[in-house]
């Protein structure tokens, strides 16, 4: 999954991504995660949206991709990714399989 994600989320074309739809409501701590490039474009900033607060964390590009793949493989069911090359919708199922759809 990380390799496929790296093709979509690359430094040149990536704009923003939103991970949502918590897989297991019983373990939910945050409702969604918004990901965008840092101002210099060398890192990723993840914004964790909790019920009554928001927390920002910065990751190196590779660590950010790993964290995004990890969140999609167990915590969230879907992601909407916006790039300058096009928009993508990533869906994950209970078995951990992913489907990447190109949105036009």
pLDDT at 55: 95
What pTM was computed for the model? 0.87
Give the C-alpha separation, 74 to 67, whole Å. Answer: 11
Domains contained in the chain, number: 1
pLDDT at 45: 96
Domain span at 98? 2-103
Q: What is the pLDDT along the chain (104 residues), one digit of tens a residue?
A: 677 888 888 888 999 999 999 887 756 688 999 999 988 888 999 999 998 999 999 999 999 999 999 998 888 999 999 999 899 999 988 777 788 898 86
pLDDT at 28: 64
């Amino acid at each position: 999954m990380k390799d496929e994600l790296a093709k979509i989320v690359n430094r040149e074309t990536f704009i923003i991504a939103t991970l949502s739809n918590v897989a297991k409501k019983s373990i939910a701590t945050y409702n969604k995660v918004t990901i965008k490039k840092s101002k210099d474009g060398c890192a990723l900033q993840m914004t964790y949206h909790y019920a009554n607060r928001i927390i920002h964390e910065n990751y190196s590009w590779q660590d950010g991709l790993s964290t995004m793949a990890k969140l999609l493989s167990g915590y969230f069911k879907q992601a909407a990714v916006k790039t300058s090359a096009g928009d993508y919708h990533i869906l994950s199922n209970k078995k951990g399989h992913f489907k990447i759809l190109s949105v036009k």
